[in-house]
Structure 1
Amino acid sequence: MNLQDYKGIFVFTQQVDCKITGVSFELIGKAKELASELETDVTAVVLGAGINTLAEELAAFGADKVIIVDNPELKDYTTEPYTQVMYEIIEHYKPEIVLYGATAIGRDLAPRVSARVHTGLTADCTKLEIDTETKDLRMTRPAFGGNIMATIVSPRHRPQMATVRPGVMQKRKKDPDAKALVEEFKIDLKPNQNYVEVVEIVKKVSDKIDIMDAKILVSGGRGVGCKENFKLLQEFAEVLNASLSSSRACVDAGWTEKEQQVGQTGKTVRPNVYFAIGISGAIQHLAGMEESDIIIAINKDESAPIFDVADYGIVGDYQKILPILTEKMKIELAVK
């Protein structure tokens, strides 16, 4: 393998019902940073049916080029045809780096593609950077249950591939005047024994907001004490029209659901306001919320690490403080 033959950064742009997922814009933003160090460009690859209108939006968020594969067989995601297409694109264009969002689709597709092109894959990355000496991609991810951070490089194989958690990277500011070179890639898909038939797609509307989309989060940690005590946090969250989240310790204890977990082994969030209640501030948790606009911490331990990242801190018993805050907020909001 001649590594010099591989150039450019490709981003698998996930779309569902012709709507691009947020992590794809985040990856394009990060890819632009990496590309500036490698003096190369960023290509968004989008697969589906009836998707030609998406190129303009991808350009607005930073894509220099857009490769569109428009095929009726790609309308709904299934593993084999998507893998065939990505394999052919990689073989044809030879990108140096390929990035995927660590979504259900990305986590299914990326390992299939990496195996087919005989390269490595670093999953669930939280940090990407270019090695200043070798120009290899340094891919950092949690390891051993989130207790350490491992940085992985792929010096002898191309493309370098990674899946990246949603919410970790920052998408670029939209530029409606930006333009991208658009290319349609044609491929004859070949059904084989790995094909599956999609019989029916059932869409369920949930009244719960994904914590990654929440503007305000009220988050509890081990210091909350028990599942029943989360009622205080829930009442406070309802007054603020906020969502409830937690640390891993609460999920492990059965106090909250996995989908509410913030941290290295949970979700990465960037709300406008993050209330950290009874959360000590272990590095594994901080990695998932430290980019919040405003962090407000309540903890009995004045030396808790959470106060090092908090914009505002209250030292004391949350069971006494939170009811007061709840009532104060009710009055304030009623006046407004």
Structure 2
Amino acid sequence: MTEVFVVAAGANKLTYEMLTLARSLGEPSAVVLGAPGTAASIKDSLAEYGAAKVYAAEHADLDAYLVAPKAEALAALISEKSPAAVLLPSSQEGKEIAGRVAVALDNGLLTDVSALEADGTATQAVFAGATVVKSKVTKGIPLVTVKANSLTPQAAPAAAELVEVPVAVSDAAKLVSITDQVVEPKGDRPDLAEANIVVSGGRGVGSAEQFSVIEEFADLLGAAVGASRAATDSGFYPHKFQVGQTGTTVSPQLYLAAGISGAIQHRAGMQTSKTIVAVNKDDGAPIFDIADFGVVGDLFKVLPQAGDEIRKSRQ
């Protein structure tokens, strides 16, 4: 069976999605790029989702400099092993690594792929999700970045044989060093990109202080909190919680949009949600065009009333 590389940026849902996708293409092999010990810490999780091998391309310099050393190490491994395809996360770092690898290997590249067939045909949503296209790399192997929440991860335990990969970092890859890293503490709410339920607020919330109504309803449902670009640009909520084409793409079981008009930029980041509920005072808001259930009303009345009914049902 042909080998398919999955670049694992940690033990997370997107990595598991990529491993699941890789199983339909060949035999998945996870590639871990990082400091010594990184691969061993996530090996068991990668095994659970089908990694037959785990290539540990580890070196202190991979985390000491920006993405150039990681791209260099990945390009060397691809040249040595000749996988049938390479999948990377469609994150900022994943896309930059992919771009550098494509240039180094003179290989084609497709980004934000939601599906990939055995013959290398990829599915992509373009023009802010308005159009779905089929694409293929015309030079080299399928080198793609996979969009988060494109499929449901399926466990399929495998051996995950740990393979140490020698890494040599050139001086050219050390031009930009990382002087400091700050890891933001995680709150009690689910991660936005991986949550099963997301409650988002838009410009209609009115202010940062009033965003508490969104947070309270989200906490009642055990949901993540999101926001539209209009809300984040207005300073109502931090930009890291933005849902949309230029923010986080989500595909939860339930997405509740409160005070969000439904601009195409926002819809591109949430329209694959399984069930969409919209609350808006404007009955002509575009969000109602894609909503499964719509409530025309004041979110400051609708959400508290819905919350009361949910609490009653739990008594």
The TM-score bracket by the shorter chain reads: 0.7 to 0.9
Does residue 1:137 correspond to 2:110, yes or no? Answer: no
Unaligned runs of 5+ in 2: none
Deviation at 1:117? 0.8
1:22 corresponds in structure 2 to 13
2:278 corresponds in structure 1 to 297
Does residue 1:163 correspond to 2:145, yes or no? Answer: yes
1:108 corresponds in structure 2 to 96
1:61/1:79 Cα in 2 relative to 1: closer, same or farther (>3 Å)? same
2:85–2:143 contact (8 Å) kept in structure 1: yes
1:89 corresponds in structure 2 to 77
Deviation at 1:198? 4.8
2:47–2:159 contact (8 Å) kept in structure 1: yes
1:212–1:267 contact (8 Å) kept in structure 2: yes
State the Cα deviation string for residues 251-276 of structure 1 (Å, max 9, x = none).
45554433222233321224454222
- Secondary structure class of the residue paired with 1:194: helix
1:42 corresponds in structure 2 to 28
Question: Counterpart of 2:192 in structure 1: which amino acid?
Answer: I
Map 1:58-207 onto structure 2 (within 5 A). 58-74=46-62, 78-123=66-111, 125-130=112-117, 135-143=119-127, 146=128, 148-149=130-131, 151=133, 153-172=135-154, 174-175=155-156, 178-180=157-159, 182=161, 184-195=163-174, 196-207=176-187
Deviation at 1:171? 1.5
1:265/1:76 Cα in 2 relative to 1: closer, same or farther (>3 Å)? same
Deviation at 1:85? 1.5
Aligned with residue 226 of structure 2, among 245, 250, 257: 245
- Secondary structure class of the residue paired with 1:140: strand
Question: Counterpart of 2:152 in structure 1: which amino acid?
Answer: Q
1:121/1:58 Cα in 2 relative to 1: closer, same or farther (>3 Å)? same
2:279–2:297 contact (8 Å) kept in structure 1: yes
Which range is displaced more, 55-64 or 285-294? 285-294
Question: Counterpart of 1:279 in structure 2: which amino acid?
Answer: I
Question: Counterpart of 1:171 in structure 2: which amino acid?
Answer: P
* Structure number with larger C-alpha Rg: 1
2:65–2:178 contact (8 Å) kept in structure 1: no
| Number of residue pairs the alignment of both structures matches | 309
- Secondary structure class of the residue paired with 2:7: strand
Which range is displaced more, 112-121 or 311-320? 311-320
Length-normalised TM-score, structure 2: 0.79
Deviation at 1:152? 6.4
Does residue 1:322 correspond to 2:310, yes or no? Answer: no
Deviation at 1:101? 0.8
State the Cα deviation string for residues 144-179 of structure 1 (Å, max 9, x = none).
xx274464634431122222233333211x34xx32
1:130–1:138 contact (8 Å) kept in structure 2: yes
1:262 corresponds in structure 2 to 243
1:91/1:321 Cα in 2 relative to 1: closer, same or farther (>3 Å)? same
Question: Counterpart of 1:189 in structure 2: which amino acid?
Answer: A
Length-normalised TM-score, structure 1: 0.75
Question: Counterpart of 1:179 in structure 2: which amino acid?
Answer: A
Which range is displaced more, 213-222 or 259-268? 213-222
Tell me how far apart the structure 1 counterparts of residues 167 and 301 of structure 2 sit (CA, whole Å): 66
Deviation at 1:185? 4.6
Tell me how far apart the structure 1 counterparts of residues 289 and 300 of structure 2 sit (CA, whole Å): 22
2:114–2:147 contact (8 Å) kept in structure 1: no
Deviation at 1:130? 2.7
